[in-house]
Every structure is written in structure tokens, then in C-alpha cells.
């Protein structure tokens, strides 16, 4: 490819709304161009990256035995009504009507349509397992689209769906996909982790996210540096403390803490470690009848250590708390006789259900609110000042330094960007859509399903978040828009430069290398800056002076200085670097 | 590929709504599956064809210097408002609103968005010419979607847009694309014609359709068997007759023709050739003010030979008739004093503007309505019974046997399916969107544009219309879902069959041949019928009996009998057939 025949369009400044590096750099490098909120043109330079991502994904999906289909972007609502998602999903599901006022959706995923295919096509267990996938345009009407391709509204996703005869077979399909995902992400050349994720009501451990490690990632990833344990923060278990509770050393006392309504403020005032304080969180659950009228409500008090954060997923798994909400101020006043900020488990006006985090259950001489404004209790002890806790559970997010659940040391936390997800669905969709096959016993049986997504247009953005510097993007070879760029200095003035550049270009092309020759005639500084911004990983600079000595300059995008290479060896030098 | 790992799903019966062969056969062969009116899943077997079409199109577009981009499916309405198409286009433009009630369209094409890209990216004439293309999902909300992929609502189209500095350069871009289209359609292995089409208000001859020849085509194609002249019926010129008008031989007479209101009925009653009759078509044009109120109307009478059909495009080009409509019955009665069916140019109540087809102008002793119910005039002659015509024009569709405009003989007519269109747009969009670049003279100048479409999902349907028989589809090699199918008979019983089949499969795969081995264990009859329906062009059947003699059977899908080939030669036999 010659640059004069391509569309290269770099910008000095990033757009004002670009908050993160990938959005800034991909826009400046001319890879994407915003058309509307969360809607982008994939420009030629960016589309080359996307096509390489697609090709790797397709190749590995095919290798894993998945079969490619394409399901429509515009889908009749009737399928989405069968599972109830047409009504249940929020405004992010874009609902439209055609000229005859019939309802449609723009697909955000395709569980319904693929399940419809399965119930028509897979009549017998003999046809199973099957895995159908597509690489297709999706739309989610995000309330606040931002971060460029990271959280766009229109995007390209690879979504695969497995159909199996039973749960054991579904687990094999899941593991096959998981292995394919590892191959895919290995090939991308990115640092990533497969982290355990919550599988919701379905249970089991068959839900993992593939997270690209990046300091700007939206997700917290918990991992053990000594083992392969990794989970997202929602999922990561905090082990029960192993040390016994210390004996009570202090008497309980009421202490004035005027205006100190947070654990941190109280700890500072009392000159105590934050870990000696206990925070009180008040939740509520409602009983409703079929019409949705609330018949009665139950108030719950959760106790967590002052330095710990509540984990909503874990709280939701406590029996009775599946559909919890935060209590209202009036509910709090009714039960505690006090406004939030000074709450505690002692001296309630009306009884509540108490749930105690594992770490709180082993505390001695702790501090909590006194249920009286501007007062806290100190020296509180279980079994003496209040009964021993009966409902103890894991309610909190893990923190760095917690013990790894696999016993291999302490946990660490880093940030990640979710670019893939493998998920065991069970019979959620097949049951709702009456999608059955004839099992070996001759009876209709619902498909056991799994779903497997990769954000094809999100992936380049994640790659940039992980791989960039102050000069621009640093693409891994596998998904770079071009693998090699040839930058001739003064090509229009020097026949030697022109000849050498064109020969190297032709030789690399013939060897199947994805190379671009910058024949635009830009000034050297601007030309080199463009390619550093665009992030092509391998660069050759040819100039008259160097060629007089028979040398050209090679530089990998991560390197800080160029290497002089004899012009007659540069082809083999580059190809050996790529091999 | 092994069939057991693929999705093969053939049907004995076509769906009731499938009216044409391609819809019936592609559904029966499991290539497409209807999800809603005009909305289809592209099933694995069909998607393979579509991907091959895409690959050929992409390769030739790149070779021609076009640059690939992807423009969003969901496009903000503001761009469509700039050109007025948001309001002007009919209900086939699917308009939607997002969660914030902002207007969007689902793209049916992308002139607006690509022009927006050009006005931002191409600042100087030095950056031109440029041609941007995409292969992308489109949506047209057809009132009556039908014919499967032929006239669907959601479809895939390759749309390219050229930007040039002036009209001469635009013509070069047009010719470059035209040449690329010829290469593309040659590679598809289909019989097609590039036919001249009408370029509307822009004028000139830079509009051609690429039509796949098929008896079931919706379009009539006019061509000269002795030359490369070809045009669609709207465009094809009918030459002025070269023979002089015969002298009048009859006196004009009024003849009773009770109940005979068509030329055909009158010709039969009077025992005259239909070509001796003249039909009267009454049109009207309106003068309106800026608000659209009609100020005055003009009635026109068009005379065509009884055996000729009016061509609305040609009529619209007669000065004054650009926005013609058919006259109302009351307008007809007011001017002719008679109901339709017995109208003619003689004896009007009020004057009309007369436009006479070239062929009518040279008629003598002709028959027309008498402007009195149940009566016609015979023996009518120009210059005697009514004045010589002053406004003579080409108003009719050509018919087979007309002289070719290039003087190379007589025209013939066949049916075609439009699968591509190259079109010079001029400055229609760049003017509306103020899309300019700096010209060599330093002044802003509007881009000269062209647009170039190929119906990627329509093409396979057109290929099937052209290439099928009573057993199923006959794919050209280049776009077949698989090039070769290996059908082993009794693979589960015979080790020899299994070994030979798997060896041939592996050898062909290694040679890069797109081969499928049918290891499903179907009965031989059902297996062979499946592959004849699917239409794989090259088939090898291996059976125990043949292998004992060292022979296998090869059959091209068009052939009526198999060829025996020694098993050790079958690999080279097939690869030589493919070369």
C-alpha cells in the first residue's frame, strides 16, 4: 500500500469530549470519526485494525468448531416478547416500528433469534453439540455514550451460542470456548486475565470475563500473583478470618463525636485504626402481591468493617435479600430513632434483621454509632454488649492483601477492560421459548445453552489503553493497521531513496508483509510523528545520507532509538523480527 | 470441512410465499431462513456464498484504488436533513428515535455521511481523486418485501462513492469503477450485461446498470446481438422511422365500434393490423405557487401506435412534461366531450397540446377514437384530416426488431436482474451539503461525485435465478458455498471408502480447495439429492464396488452423467478441472 492511495488523516488535538487515551489517540490517528453520540465512522486506518481482529476471532471460532451465521440487525419484536425481554429490558434496547407500525428491535445480542434457529434446526440430540456465532453490528442505546469505541452505541460484537443435550455436555462446550478465547487473546498480543465472574441466578462457576489489563479500566480485577486465581471484584470471595476473636479489653462507653458521621472521621477523632470501626448499612425488602402492591416490608441492618466496602452481589445472595433496596430515611428513623451517620446495632426502637460480615464477627472492642446524633459507642463487644451474631456472611469487596481463596498467598487488585465473556446460560432461553430437541430417551428436552461474546470494536480501544505512550499508539503486530511503515526522506529529490524505498516495499509486499510506503511527500518530522501517533510497530527510515553509507534505520515503536541496518540486509532483518 | 461439523438443513418443500426459484431453492437448501417479512437469517451455507461475493468485491475495489470504510447502520437524521432526503424520501426510509427522542435513520445508502466525511477530510484538490466504499448492512422498508433476498428489507450492499475535482476527472473515476465492475462480474462467472440507464436530471450517459440475465428478471434489457449496445427499457432509444409516410389511400370515415374501447379490440373488429391503430393518452401538468396551490392546469394528448407502450421516462423529457400526471376523467370529458376508450385528436371540445410519437407521425390511413362513445374514425391522414404534427418525439418503449441506435442491426429484448449500478452524481450532494475543497485556483469548489453499488446479498439470488434446474441450484465455482463435495457411500461400513474419502478430503484441503466431506451417514439417495439441491459444482462419489475396481465417480453439477476416474488420479483430475 502506498500512503498517497490511502486515507491518512491525523489531528494535532483530540476532540474536547475525548476523556481517555484510546478515544483521544484513535481520533487523532484518524481511525474513527464521530458521527453522533456513541456512533462512529470506522475510517480506513481503524477499519484495518477491526478487520484483523475479526479475522483472528473468525479463524479461532472456526477452529473450535463453531459455525458462522448472520442474524439480522433489525429483528421482529415477537421473539423478544417470547422471553419477556421486549418489556423487561430498559431504554438501552432500541425499539422501532416499521411502516406498518409493527414492532422491531435493533439487536443488542441475539439470544432469542438464535434460540429460534435452534428449535427449528436441531431436532435430535444426534445433531448436538452445536455452536452458532456471528460477527455483526449491534446497538445499545446507552444513556451516556462516551469513551469512543469503549462505550459506543453502535458497535461490532462476535456473539456465539452453544446448544447442548445436557449440563455435562454444556460444560464441555463452555471449556472449548474458554480455550478458544485464550488462543484468541494470546494472538492479539495483549496482557489479559480470564477472571471469574458472577453467574447470577444460574449458579455454578461457569462465567468468566476476559479482561485486558489497563490502568484506565472500568473494572477492578482481583488476582493472586502466585497462582492463576482471578476474579472480578463482584465475584472474588473474601475468606473467613482464621484468627480467633480477641478477648474484650475495654468497657463499652458512649462518646461524643459531634459532626463525625463517617467511620473515617470517627477513627480520626478517636485516634483509632479505621479497622476498629464498624459501619451500619440499612436495607429493606418488600413483600408484594401479584399486582405489585407492597403488603409489608422488612428492615435489615448490615455491619461491615469501617475500611471495607459492601459488595451488592454478595449481599443479594444472603437468604431473603435477593431483591434488597436501601431503606428510606423514615424507615431508618422508625427503627433506629436516629438519622443516618450515627447508627449501630445497640439500642434500637424496633427490631431489624442483623447480618454481620465475617470480619466484623471476629472484632473486639469496636466502635459503632450510638443511635443518637453526634454520639458513638466505643469498646463494643459481641456476647457482652449485644448477642453473638447469628447471621454471618461474606458481604464485602476483597481488598489487596486479603488471602487468596486458593490458599496461594495474598490477593492483588488491578484495573481491567472487559472485552470478552463466556457464560453458561442453562435453560433460561430454551425454557422461555420452548426450544426442545428429542433426547436419547425419546422425550423433548430443553437445550442447555451458553453464550460467548467478544467486543470486536471495543478490543482495539482496550489495546490502545494498554499500549500507548506520549507520542501515540503502540499496536501489537497482530492487529496493527500496517505491520511495517517505510518512511523515505526526500523521496522526491533523491532517486536512490525512491529506488530503495520502492524495492523494500515491493519485496515486503511479495513476502506477504502488510507494509505501507509513505510517499505523501510530508516533511520528515511530520511524517515520523504521524506514524508514531498511528502506532505502526515496525518502521524503516531511508535517507540519502544513510544510503551513501549503505545504511537504513530500523526502529520498533517501543524502542527509544533506531538501529542502523545495512540496506541489503533490511528485508531479512525485518522479516526475522516479524517471524 | 466435514458435514457433521457443519449445519446442513435441506427441505423437501419450499415455503408457500416463495414465488421465484431463488427464494424457493435458497430456502430449501438451508441458505436463508426467514425471520420476518423481508428479513432473513443468513444461514451457514448461504453465508459462505455471501462471504465469497464480499471477498471478490473487496479485492477488486481495492485493486481499483477504492478505500474501505464503514459508516454506521444507525445515522443521525441531521445529515439527511441537510440534503432534504429525510423529508423527501418515502416510507422506505426507516426513521427511528433514540431514548432522547432524537431522530435517526437506518441507512439505505450513505451519500450524506460519505459527503460529510469528504468535506472534513479532502481539503485540497491534491488529495483527489478519492473513492470510499463500504460493505455494510442496509435497510429499506419495502411496502411489499418478497422474492427472498431479491427484494428484502435488510440486505448487504457494497456502496462506493468517488470524489473528484472536476467533471473530466469524475468521468475517469466512473470508467475506473465501470472496469472494476466488469472484472467483478466476470469473476462471479455469471452471464450479465452492462446496460445504459437513465441518468435523470444530471444528464449525460454516465449511468449503467449491471444486469444478470435471467428469464425471471424484473427488468427488460434491450440489446443488439451484433454489437455491445445494451440499455434498459427506460433508456433505450427508438430511432425515427427511415421510411417515408405512405400517401393517403382512404377517406376518413366514422365507424361504429360498440363496446370496443381498446386498440386491440378495434383492430380485431375491423380486421386491421394493430399497427394501423393509434392510441390516445391524456396527461396533464399543473402550475402551482410556492405554497403548492394549483393555479392552472394544461391538458396534453399523446398519440402512440396501438402496438406500442408509453415510456414514462421519455415522456418526462418532453419540454413541459417533466412533472406530468395522468388527466382526470373530468378533465378528459371537458376537453374531449367523451369518456376514455374512444378518444382521438379530431373534433375536440377544448384545445389540448398534442405530442406525437415518431412512429405515429409517419402513419397513413390510421384508426383512432372519434371522441364519441362506441365510434372510431378510420382512414385518418395527417395534413388532410388534421394538421401536420408539430411536436414529434420518442415516447415509446422499444420493441424487439426495432433498429439498434448504433446502426448495427435489430434490437432484441431479454429479462435481467439489476445487481450493480454505476452512476455519475455530479454535484447534487456536495452542493446540498456545501462540501467543497480548495481547487488549483485557490477557490472552494464542490466535489464532483459518483456512486457505485453492488447488491451483495441480492447477487446470490440472481445467480440462482440464472443457474438452476429441477434438482436445485448450480453455483458458479467462484461463489459456491463449497467447490467440491465428497460423497462416500457406506462410509460407516467400509474402511476402504472411509480411508479413500478422508485422504481425498485431506489432500484437497491441503491444496487450498474449498471441499466438504459428507460424513453424516445419510442414505445415498438423500445425500446426493441434498448436494444437487445445494448446488456444489463438483462432486466425487466413492463406493465400495467402484473402489474394488480402483474407480470413483466425478460429476460436474451441470453434467447429466458421472465420469469414472481412477482413485489415484482423482485429486489431479479435480484440481485440473478447477484450474
Kindly list the residues from chain B whose CB atom is less than 8 angstroms away from the CB atom of residue A121.
7, 9
Kindly list the residues from chain B whose CB atom is less than 8 angstroms away from the CB atom of residue A94.
74, 96, 98-99
Residues near A504 by Cβ (< 8 Å), separated by ≥ 6? A486, A540, A542, A570, A571
- pLDDT over 90 for what percent of chain A? 92
Number of H helices, E strands in chain A: 16, 31
Question: At A202, is the pLDDT very low, low, confident or very high (cuts 50, 70, 90)?
Answer: low
A154 in reach of chain B (CB within 8 A): yes
DSSP state of A243: S
In three-state secondary structure terms, B48 is helix
Secondary structure element (H or E) that encloses residue A162, with its range: strand A154-164
- Other CB atoms within a 10 A radius of the CB of residue B151 amount to 18
**How confident is the model over A364-387, as a mean pLDDT?**
96
Q: Residue A201 pLDDT > 70, yes or no?
A: no
B31 in reach of chain A (CB within 8 A): no
Q: Are B496 and B441 in contact (CB under 8 A)?
A: no
Q: Are A400 and A308 in contact (CB under 8 A)?
A: no
Residue that has been written with the C-alpha cell 460444560 in this structure:
A171
Paired residues of A32 in beta bridges: A42
How far B515 CA lies from chain A's nearest CA (Å)? Answer: 15
Query: Which of A387, A386, A366, A388 has its CA nearest to residue A377?
Result: A366
Residues near A523 by Cβ (< 8 Å), separated by ≥ 6? none
For B190, B458, B505, B565, the CA distances from B574, given in Å and listed in that order, are 22, 30, 12, 10
Kindly list the residues from chain B whose CB atom is less than 8 angstroms away from the CB atom of residue A44.
67-69, 132
Paired residues of B556 in beta bridges: B538
Number of H helices, E strands in chain B: 16, 31
**How confident is the model over A55-75, as a mean pLDDT?**
98
- Cα four-point dihedral sign A159, A162, A163, A167: negative
Q: Residue A203 pLDDT > 70, yes or no?
A: no
What is residue B202's predicted lDDT score, i.e. its pLDDT?
64
Residues in chain A: 579
C-alpha B439, offset from chain centre: 37
Query: Grid coordinates representing A311?
Result: 459488595
Q: Residue A447 pLDDT > 80, yes or no?
A: yes
What is residue B291's predicted lDDT score, i.e. its pLDDT?
84
pTM attached to this predicted model: 0.91
Query: Grid coordinates representing A158?
Result: 462476535
Residue B129: is the preceding peptide bond cis (ω within 30°)?
yes
Query: Grid coordinates representing B306?
Result: 396501438
**How confident is the model over A515-530, as a mean pLDDT?**
96
- Contact assignment for B71 to A137 by CB distance below 8 Å: no
Query: Grid coordinates representing B180?
Result: 472494476
SS (H, E, C) A537-566: CEEEEECHHHHHCCEEEEEECCCCCCEEEE
pLDDT tens-place string over residues B132-190: 999 999 999 998 898 999 999 999 999 999 999 999 999 999 999 999 999 999 999 99
**How confident is the model over A528-534, as a mean pLDDT?**
98
What is residue A199's predicted lDDT score, i.e. its pLDDT?
77
A27 in reach of chain B (CB within 8 A): no
- Contact assignment for A36 to B120 by CB distance below 8 Å: no
What is residue A204's predicted lDDT score, i.e. its pLDDT?
63
Q: Residue A429 pLDDT > 90, yes or no?
A: yes
DSSP secondary structure, A282-345, as one string: EEEEEEE-TT--EEEEEEEEEEEETT--B-HHHHHTSTT-TT-EEPPHHHHHHHHSS-TTS--S
- Contact assignment for A71 to B35 by CB distance below 8 Å: yes
Q: Are A266 and A367 in contact (CB under 8 A)?
A: yes
Q: What is the dihedral of CA B241, B245, B251, B254, to 10 degrees?
A: 20
A155 in reach of chain B (CB within 8 A): no
- Other CB atoms within a 10 A radius of the CB of residue A172 amount to 12
Going by their DSSP bridges, the two strands B472-473 and B468-469 should be labelled as antiparallel
For chain B, which ranges sit under pLDDT 70? 201-205
For B489, B542, B565, the CA distances from B570, given in Å and listed in that order, are 17, 11, 6
* Distance in angstroms (rounded) separating the CA atoms of residues B141 and B236: 30
For A61, A134, A482, B157, the CA distances from A54, given in Å and listed in that order, are 10, 10, 15, 19
Backbone phi and psi for residue A326, each to the nearest 5 degrees, phi listed first? -75, 145
- Contact assignment for B75 to A35 by CB distance below 8 Å: yes
- Contact assignment for A117 to B41 by CB distance below 8 Å: yes
Domains by residue range for chain B, with CATH: 3-206+421-464 (3.30.930.10), 253-393 (3.90.960.10), 482-578 (3.40.50.800)
Average pLDDT for chain A = 95
Paired residues of B222 in beta bridges: B231, B413
Backbone phi and psi for residue A486, each to the nearest 5 degrees, phi listed first? -105, 120
Query: Grid coordinates representing A307?
Result: 475500611
Q: Residue A215 pLDDT > 70, yes or no?
A: yes
Q: Which of residues 86-125 of A touch B (CB under 8 A)?
A: 91-92, 94, 96, 98-99, 104, 106, 113, 116-117, 120-121
pLDDT tens-place string over residues B541-552: 999 999 999 999
For A81, A111, A435, A442, B41, the CA distances from A432, given in Å and listed in that order, are 10, 11, 8, 21, 21
What is residue A464's predicted lDDT score, i.e. its pLDDT?
97
**Helical residues (DSSP H) of A347-483, grouped into ranges:** 358-361, 428-432, 458-466
pLDDT tens-place string over residues A315-372: 999 999 989 999 999 999 999 999 999 999 999 999 999 999 999 999 999 999 999 9
Backbone phi and psi for residue A184, each to the nearest 5 degrees, phi listed first? -60, -50
How far A453 CA lies from chain B's nearest CA (Å)? Answer: 19
Among the residue ranges A55-59, A85-89, A178-182, B430-434, the one predicted with the least confidence is A85-89
Query: Grid coordinates representing A471?
Result: 507520542
Query: Which of A35, A45, A40 has its CA nearest to residue A8?
Result: A45
In three-state secondary structure terms, A396 is strand
pLDDT tens-place string over residues A241-284: 988 999 999 999 999 999 999 999 999 999 999 999 999 999 99
Secondary structure element (H or E) that encloses residue B208, with its range: strand B207-213
pLDDT tens-place string over residues B484-513: 999 999 999 999 999 999 999 999 999 999
In three-state secondary structure terms, B138 is strand
* Distance in angstroms (rounded) separating the CA atoms of residues A324 and B310: 74
Q: Which of residues 453-482 of A touch B (CB under 8 A)?
A: none
- Minimal Cβ distance to A35: which of B42, B72, B130: B72
How far B122 CA lies from chain A's nearest CA (Å)? Answer: 9
Amino acid at each position: 500500500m502506498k500512503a498517497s492511495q490511502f486515507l491518512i488523516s491525523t489531528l494535532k488535538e483530540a476532540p474536547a469530549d475525548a476523556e481517555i487515551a484510546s478515544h483521544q489517540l484513535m481520533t487523532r490517528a484518524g481511525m474513527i470519526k464521530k458521527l453522533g453520540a456513541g456512533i462512529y465512522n470506522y475510517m480506513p486506518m481503524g477499519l484495518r485494525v477491526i478487520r484483523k481482529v475479526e479475522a483472528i476471532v473468525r479463524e479461532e471460532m472456526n477452529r473450535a468448531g463453531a459455525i458462522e451465521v448472520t442474524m439480522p440487525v433489525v429483528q421482529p419484536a415477537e421473539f423478544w416478547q417470547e422471553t419477556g425481554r421486549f418489556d423487561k429490558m430498559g431504554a438501552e434496547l432500541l425499539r422501532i416500528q416499521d411502516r406498518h407500525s409493527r414492532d422491531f428491535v435493533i439487536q443488542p445480542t441475539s439470544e432469542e433469534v438464535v434460540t429460534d434457529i435452534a428449535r427449528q434446526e436441531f431436532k435430535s440430540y444426534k445433531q448436538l453439540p452445536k455452536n452458532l456465532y456471528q460477527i455483526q453490528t449491534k446497538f445499545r442505546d446507552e444513556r451516556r455514550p462516551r469513551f469512543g469505541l469503549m462505550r459506543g452505541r453502535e458497535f461490532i460484537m462476535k456473539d456465539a451460542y452453544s446448544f447442548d443435550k445436557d449440563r455435562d455436555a454444556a460444560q464441555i462446550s463452555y471449556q472449548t470456548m474458554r480455550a478458544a478465547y485464550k488462543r484468541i487473546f494470546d494472538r492479539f498480543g495483549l496482557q489479559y486475565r480470564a477472571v471469574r465472574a458472577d453467574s447470577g441466578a444460574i449458579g455454578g462457576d461457569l462465567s468468566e470475563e476476559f479482561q485486558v489489563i489497563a490502568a484506565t479500566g472500568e473494572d477492578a480485577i482481583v488476582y493472586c500473583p502466585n497462582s492463576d486465581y482471578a476474579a472480578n471484584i463482584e465475584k472474588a470471595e473474601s475468606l473467613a478470618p482464621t484468627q480467633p476473636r480477641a478477648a474484650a479489653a475495654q468497657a463499652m462507653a458512649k462518646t461524643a463525636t459531634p459532626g463525625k458521621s463517617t467511620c473515617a472521621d470517627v477513627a480520626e477523632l478517636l485516634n483509632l485504626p479505621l479497622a476498629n470501626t464498624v459501619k451500619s448499612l440499612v436495607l429493606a425488602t418488600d413483600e408484594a402481591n401479584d399486582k405489585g402492591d407492597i403488603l409489608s416490608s422488612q428492615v435489615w441492618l448490615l455491619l461491615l468493617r469501617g475500611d471495607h466496602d459492601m459488595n451488592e452481589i454478595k449481599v443479594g445472595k444472603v437468604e431473603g435479600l435477593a431483591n434488597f433496596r436501601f431503606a428510606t430515611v423514615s424507615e431508618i428513623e422508625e427503627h433506629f430513632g436516629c438519622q443516618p451517620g450515627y447508627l449501630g446495632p445497640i439500642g434500637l426502637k424496633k427490631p431489624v434483621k442483623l447480618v454481620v460480615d465475617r470480619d466484623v464477627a471476629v472484632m473486639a472492642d469496636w466502635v459503632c454509632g450510638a443511635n443518637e446524633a453526634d454520639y458513638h459507642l466505643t469498646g463494643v463487644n459481641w456476647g457482652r454488649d449485644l448477642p453473638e451474631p447469628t447471621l454471618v456472611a461474606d458481604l464485602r469487596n476483597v481488598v489487596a492483601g486479603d488471602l487468596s481463596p486458593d490458599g496461594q498467598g495474598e490477593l492483588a487488585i488491578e484495573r481491567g477492560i472487559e472485552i470478552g465473556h463466556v457464560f453458561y446460560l442453562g435453560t433460561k432461553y430454551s425454557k422461555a421459548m420452548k426450544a426442545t430437541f428429542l433426547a436419547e430417551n425419546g422425550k423433548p428436552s430443553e437445550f442447555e445453552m451458553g453464550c460467548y461474546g467478544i467486543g470486536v470494536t471495543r478490543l482495539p480501544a482496550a489495546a490502545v489503553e494498554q499500549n500507548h505512550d506520549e507520542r501515540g499508539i503502540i499496536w501489537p503486530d497482530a492487529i496493527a493497521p500496517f505491520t511495517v511503515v517505510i518512511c523515505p526522506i526526500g523521496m522526491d529529490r533523491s532517486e536512490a531513496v525512491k529506488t530503495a524505498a520502492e524495492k523494500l516495499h515491493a519485496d515486503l509486499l511479495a513476502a506477504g508483509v502488510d507494509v505501507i510506503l509513505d510517499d505523501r511527500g510530508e516533511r520528515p518530522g511530520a511524517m515520523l510523528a504521524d506514524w508514531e501517533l498511528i502506532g505502526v510497530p515496525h518502521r524503516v527510515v531511508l535517507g540519502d545520507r544513510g544510503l551513501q553509507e549503505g545504511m537504513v534505520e530500523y526502529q520498533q515503536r517501543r524502542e527509544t532509538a533506531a538501529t542502523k541496518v545495512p540496506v541489503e540486509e533490511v528485508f531479512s532483518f525485518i522479516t526475522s523480527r516479524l517471524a
